[in-house]
Amino acid sequence: MKKIKFPSAYAILFFLIILAAVATWLVPAGTYERVTNEALNKQVPVPGSYHEIAPSPQGLLDVLMAPIAGLYDPVSYEARAIDISIFVLMIGGFLGVVTKTGALDAGLTKVLARLQGRESYMIPILMACFAAGGTIFGMAEETLAFYALIVPVMLRAGYDSLVGAAILILGAGIGALASTINPFATVIASNAAGIPFTDGIWLRFLLLFIGFAICAGWVMHYANKIKRIPELSLVYDKKQQIEQHFLGEDLDDLELKEGQHHAADLTLRRKVILVIFALTFALLVLGTSRLGWWMGEMSTLFFASALLIGLIDRMGDHKFVSTFIEGAQELLGVALIVGLARGIVVIMDAGSITDTLLSWSAGALEGTGKIAFINLMFAIEFMLSFLVPSTSGLAVLTMPILAPLASFSDVATNLVVTAYQSASGLVNLITPTSAVVIGGLAIAHVPYDRWLKFMVVPFVLLGLLIIISLSIAV
């Protein structure tokens, strides 16, 4: 009997687009009136203003157009998906050029030689760095650039590409889940709810520390297990393909050629290239956290760095162009899947059913007790997060409507904000509608079903941590 294969991420996303289109035929179309919130400088819904409007059911043509519209429509208060797609292609080209120089291989060889027997220490250290980025400035799309650095390191250390993906997705993800001062989650949600963003910050710090211990502990457990028994890797069947993609030829099999350096030799030229490589990522963090950079500036950074590295390596224009294009081609599938993920939101917005679901949610919260209210709030934000994966978009959409309901159940408003951001953060660790998750897994060559299998334990533990913390705090 032929084994049934789990559908690809592309098939899952297209099926979700079809489901969203079917929902526009079943769910009444409606909308809230919107006004400009001066503090947010965004349009927010007005509580009590929901009303039904003429239905706009989405048909076959709309479904087929959704992935295309998803690339250029500015949905959910985020950058257009086309901007993220170009960013991904620039990363691919940059990685292709760096890899061609041999500098990355030589650098990794030296680093891992010094870390012999202590490779596992890298996991919590790297995860802590990304968690800091997540909790401070909402690091998300920026992590896509770091796969080029993290995954090869993990492979050389004896782990698999799933460990590299987990460091990035769970690292930045737990930071976003327990956002302390993240302007794209906590600050926007608090402003929309009418409270200082520092209200409830200690509960978020508690979630951050305990959640980080859960995530880092789970990744280290998995990494140590597959290092002892490689066959237990969830991507063991793709081992050769993944290593060939990220590491190229096995360095041990390369022979010295007269007049040429060994592939593992860290020459002066390669050292300079590695310095530029490191500075590129340092500038990425600085630009996004302090200088207000977004997709255009980040794409330019990687393109400029690729040009500079090509010049230092004396590639010549023909070799540079072909190498850059080959690198970008490797991530073309990732660039396209971003638009597919956004297509779901495009269909829902065109069908005018998002506000209807929000209105139903507000009705479900009325007249509930404290513990029931805060846990139902978490559940509602959890479900809405699948439809609106943008943390800022979800905050602007839900907080003006749901936050005022807390006073009727005698619940502190800051707990509503915490319920929102923890629900959004938890969902964004696994949701197929997130370009960060689906795109990152595609770069790391980790099938979506393997990621879901890996995430069962930490997902359940984090969910229980959030529910228990909210229930006690209320």
pLDDT at 459 over 90: yes
pLDDT of residue 109: 74
Compute CA distances 380 → 208, 402, 403, whole Å: 22, 10, 12
- Model confidence at 300, in pLDDT bands (50, 70, 90)? very high
pLDDT at 255 over 60: no
- Model confidence at 122, in pLDDT bands (50, 70, 90)? confident
Task: Report the alpha-carbon distance of residue 193 to residue 44 in Å, rounded.
Answer: 11
Q: Match 């997902």 to its residue by tokens.
A: 459
Closest to 222 measured CA to CA, from 151, 149, 164: 164
Q: Match 């919260």 to its residue by tokens.
A: 365
Residues 45-84: tens digit of each pLDDT: 888 899 999 999 999 999 999 888 888 776 544 557 788 8
| 36 bridge partner residues | 43
pLDDT of residue 95: 83
Average pLDDT, whole number, for the chain? 86
User: What average pLDDT does this structure show over 334-355?
Assistant: 84
168-195 burial: b if 16+ Cβ within 10 Å, else e: bbbbbbbbbbbbbebebbbbbbbbbbeb
Contact 247, 155 (CB under 8 A): yes
Provide the number of structural domains found in the chain. 1
pTM: predicted TM-score of the whole model, two decimal places: 0.81
- Model confidence at 260, in pLDDT bands (50, 70, 90)? very low
Question: Which one is predicted more confidently, 84 or 234?
Answer: 234
Note whether residue 4 is domain-resident.
no
pLDDT at 259 over 70: no
pLDDT of residue 131: 93
Note whether residue 365 is domain-resident.
yes
Residues 163-193: tens digit of each pLDDT: 999 999 999 999 999 988 888 788 888 888 8
Question: What is the extent of the structural domain holding 196?
Answer: 9-17+65-473
Residues 217-227: tens digit of each pLDDT: 999 999 999 99
Q: Percent of the chain at pLDDT above 70?
A: 93
Lowest mean pLDDT among 137-151, 171-185, 209-223, 343-357: 137-151
Report which residue type is found at 232: L
Residues contacting 407, CB < 8 A, separation 6+: 413
Q: Is 113 exposed, middle or buried (0-12, 13-18, 19+ CB in 10 A)?
A: exposed
Note whether residue 188 is domain-resident.
yes
Residues 424-449: tens digit of each pLDDT: 999 999 988 887 898 899 889 999 99
Note whether residue 404 is domain-resident.
yes
Note whether residue 195 is domain-resident.
yes
Contact 306, 317 (CB under 8 A): no
pLDDT of residue 206: 95
SS3 34: strand
Measured from the Cβ of residue 158, the count of other Cβ atoms closer than 10 Å reads 16
SS3 31: strand
pLDDT of residue 225: 95
- Model confidence at 253, in pLDDT bands (50, 70, 90)? very low
Tokens of 7: 């559908």
pLDDT at 1 over 70: no
Question: Which of 177-186, 285-294, 295-304 shows the highest mean pLDDT?
Answer: 295-304
Note whether residue 163 is domain-resident.
yes
Note whether residue 446 is domain-resident.
yes
Question: Which of 110-124, 133-147, 315-329 shows the highest mean pLDDT?
Answer: 315-329
pLDDT of residue 266: 78
Note whether residue 353 is domain-resident.
yes
Residues contacting 442, CB < 8 A, separation 6+: 9, 331, 333, 334, 337
